[in-house]
Amino acid sequence: MAIRETLTGEYAEGATSVLSGTIEDETGVGFKPTTVYMTLYNRETGAIINSRDRTDITADVSVGGVIARVLTAADNVIAAPRAGKTTETHVALIEWDWTSGVARSGKFEIVFTVSDLEQA
């Protein structure tokens, strides 16, 4: 499994969207971990967006490990507006824990762009 996935499309600032990915074990099989957390931050500044610091998203993960997390309008904001800049890169760090004989953990990043449509 890749540790980072960069999405090629853009999300509109202030609009809802769905963030998706698949959690896999060491053999590449999708599964639902015991707990799943998401931290959403601005890639450039590291600032947490919309207080999404280790937000529990376990309920957004299917038995097969597919994540379908709805990002709210407040999640898709230009967190650090600057003159002449119409996009901002955000990162959703997904972390999870499970037990398979011993305690285990994993993580990956989903990188995406938010576009300020008012300035574009």
As given in the structure block, the two tokens for residue 76 are 């898709």
pLDDT tens digits for range 51-107: 999 999 999 999 999 999 999 999 999 987 777 788 999 999 999 999 988 999 999
Q: Is residue 62 part of a domain?
A: yes
Q: What is the arithmetic mean of pLDDT over 16-26?
A: 91
Write out the residue range of the structural domain in which residue 72 sits. Answer: 4-115
Q: Is residue 24 part of a domain?
A: yes
- 8 Å CB contact between 49 and 23: no
As given in the structure block, the two tokens for residue 58 are 């376990």
pLDDT tens digits for range 37-53: 999 999 999 999 999 99
Q: Is residue 120 part of a domain?
A: no
Q: Is residue 99 part of a domain?
A: yes
Q: Is residue 27 part of a domain?
A: yes
Residue type, 91: V
Query: What separation, in Å, do the N-terminal and C-terminal C-alpha atoms of the chain show?
Result: 35
Domains: count for the chain = 1
- Give the E-state strand segments of 1-120 in sequence order: 4-12, 17-22, 35-42, 55-56, 66-71, 87-100, 102-115
Here the CATH number for the domain that contains residue 91 is 2.60.40
Q: What is the pTM of this model?
A: 0.90
- Half-sphere exposure (CA, 13 Å, Cβ side) for 31? 16
4-12 and 102-115 beta bridge pairing: parallel
